[in-house]
Amino acid sequence: MTVRPIRLYGDPVLRTPADEITSFDADLRELVRDLEDTVREPGRAGVAAPQIGVSLRVFSYNVGGVIGHLINPVLSDFDGEQTDEEGCLSLPGLGYDTTRSESVTATGFDQHGEPLVIKGTGFLARALQHEVDHLSGRLYVDTLKGDVRRQALRELRRVVPRP
């Protein structure tokens, strides 16, 4: 079991769009195992590869006791709206009300290159959107607006050490 350290706000890998995965090989399966081991830690709902320093389009999730992964995800079928507090392992100790779609469909592949479709509502939909954002070099604070965004960025500068 390998639990990888989480990269923190300010690390350039978190702001770099991740590369598409083209080879479904033993190295990819090892990365997926590490992601799933890392997301099993208490209090974790998702971990994207960039959060462990790997700029590839894959993430793991742990929602409702179900652990899985998705490679080269694409989101579609956005429906409804939900606003709830959202946090991020790369921005520890912070949480802000963030608006996301209430339901979404994620398509991609498993570690063997087989097609996967995940239909998420509620918290799973939020987690899917959050993790796909990571793969595009975006953080949830990028979705915040106005005074809440300014407050979040001030707090980030105060509490998160710069690499």
112 is in an annotated binding site: no
The answer to whether 67 is a known ligand-binding residue is: no
Q: What is the DSSP letter of 56?
A: B
Q: How many CB atoms within 10 Å of residue 132? A: 21
Written as one string, the DSSP assignment of 22-33 is ---SHHHHHHHH
Residue of 41, 85, 86, 131 with catalytic role: 131
Token digits for 131?
Answer: 């993790």
| 3-class secondary structure, 71 | strand
- Does 69 count as an annotated binding residue? no
Any catalytic annotation for residue 131?
Answer: yes
Single-letter code of the amino acid located at 106: A
Active-site residue list:
131
Point out the annotated binding site for Fe cation.
88, 130, 134
